[in-house]
Structure 1
Amino acid sequence: MLRENALDMPKAGFTVQDMTRMAICLAFCCATAFISFPLPFTPGLVTALTIGIGLTALVLPPKLAFITLASYVFLGAIGLPIFPGGVGGMGRLLGPTAGFYFGWPLVCFLQSYFKGQAVSFRRYALVTVLIGVPFTYVGGLISMVTVLQVGWYEGFMMAVAPFVFGDVLKALLAAFLGVRINKMLQR
Structure 2
Amino acid sequence: MINVAQKNKVRDITAIGLMVALLCISSYIAFPLPFTPIMLTSQTIIINLIAITMNTKNGVLSIIVFYLIGAIGLPVFSGGRSGVGTLVGPSGGYFLGFLLTVLVITLIKGKNLNLKKSIILTVFVGMTMIYICGAAWMGYYNGLSFMENLKVSILPFIPGDLIKCVLASFIGVRINKIYGVGNE
CA distance in 2 between partners of 1:11 and 1:99 (Å): 37
Matched with 1:140 is: 134
CA RMSD in angstroms, aligned pairs only: 1.9
Q: Which amino acid aligns with 1:58?
A: I
Distance 1:181 1:118 in 2: 13
| Alignment size in residue pairs | 177
> How much does 1:91 deviate?
2.4
1:79 to partner: Cα distance: 1.1
Name the amino acid aligned to 1:63: K
Task: Structure 1: give runs of 5+ residues left out of the alignment.
Answer: 1-9
1:5 alignment counterpart: none
**TM superposition shift of 1:94:** 2.5
**Contact 1:145-1:155 within 8 A present in 2 as well:** yes
Please tell me whether the aligned partners of residues 78 and 89 of structure 1 are also in contact (alpha carbons under 8 angstroms).
Answer: yes
SS of the aligned residue for 1:85 comes to helix
Structure 2 residues not aligned, in runs of 5+: none
The two structures have a TM-score, normalised by structure 1, of: 0.89
Matches within 5 A, 1:1-187: 15-186=9-180
Rounded to whole Å, the distance in 1 between the matches of 2:138 and 2:52 is 28
Contact 1:119 1:183 in 2 (8 A): no
| Fraction of identical pairs, as percent | 34
| Structure with greater helix percent | 2
**Which AA in structure 2 matches 1:76?**
G
Match of 2:87, SS?
helix
Say if 1:42 and 1:158, in contact at 8 Å, map to a contact too: yes
Using the size of structure 2 for normalisation, the TM-score is 0.90
Amino acid at match of 2:24: C
How far apart, in 1, do the equivalents of 2:5 and 2:101 lie? 25
Equivalent residue letter for 1:139: C
Runs of 4+ with deviation above 6 angstroms: none
CA distance in 2, matches of 1:119, 1:76: 31
Amino acid at match of 1:96: P
